[in-house]
Structure 1
């Protein structure tokens, strides 16, 4: 069989995007050391990433890591799982606000299990079944001490209407405005239809 050479051109941006996608699939797909929230966010980010956004990520990676050029080098099996540029670019991508917002959205949708969300701070506190209220109490004691004492007293005495100038209504409104409980993955309609 005779060998032939053919000429072709390629778009470096699209080729780089494909290499990063291959790296992400090899390293993250099904890898239980990363939460589903992170894995799903990564694949959604890559799927929806615009060219300008990818150019910015690549440019920022080059400037911050002080590399002269990006060289994608596969391992002896042709894989890109530990390629330093692939790892660096994905790490940089994962530090963007859009990626963090996607992870937060996935956590709110139950991809990280049961938990309590602090809405304004975009924090997720994992908990077990039936532990949501005790987790709220812990978060209040750690972050909102003025409400924590009132919470602790009112949870013990359901008839108590006011504690340290904080009314039950004010405490309830604060919790409703600042916290969200995350249950299982299924919306309530799932359970109602079954």
Structure 2
């Protein structure tokens, strides 16, 4: 579970560090695919305990489920589909287009631009500081949904903001072309 957001963010962000203008769309797609692969494998324990997509989402989000925005719902649906199809990490890297991951990152970025002090839980229907039972299955400084926490852990306060800005520029372009 530690790899959940670390995979989502670290694999994408390390690629952008200092090289954002030199990346191709395929570079970004590949990094998003790696993030989706890590995200999906981190959610496998919930998948193994459930029998359908709605139970899967309810297990992960708990009481947040009813407030989950489309962006978080789409990301969990895509993850569930990959798990249901027993898609390997290699297959995800080859074929995943990155759309749900990119849209999720943009959603969190837009909240920040609106002045919301987000930890990423809002993507899945929570609010900063809310309790999430699924996150108790993980022992890590940052919870599985805390996008902002992982960025700060990896790059520091200022480095995270700079890198996130570069990612948003590239992701916006990719999403428009998907």
Which TM-score bucket, shorter chain as reference? under 0.3
Task: Give the TM-score normalised by the residue count of structure 2.
Answer: 0.24
Highest RCO, 1 vs 2 (Cα 8 Å, sep ≥ 6): 2
Name whichever structure is richer in helix by fraction: 2
Higher strand share: 1
State the TM-score, normalizing by the size of structure 1. Answer: 0.23
Larger Rg: 1
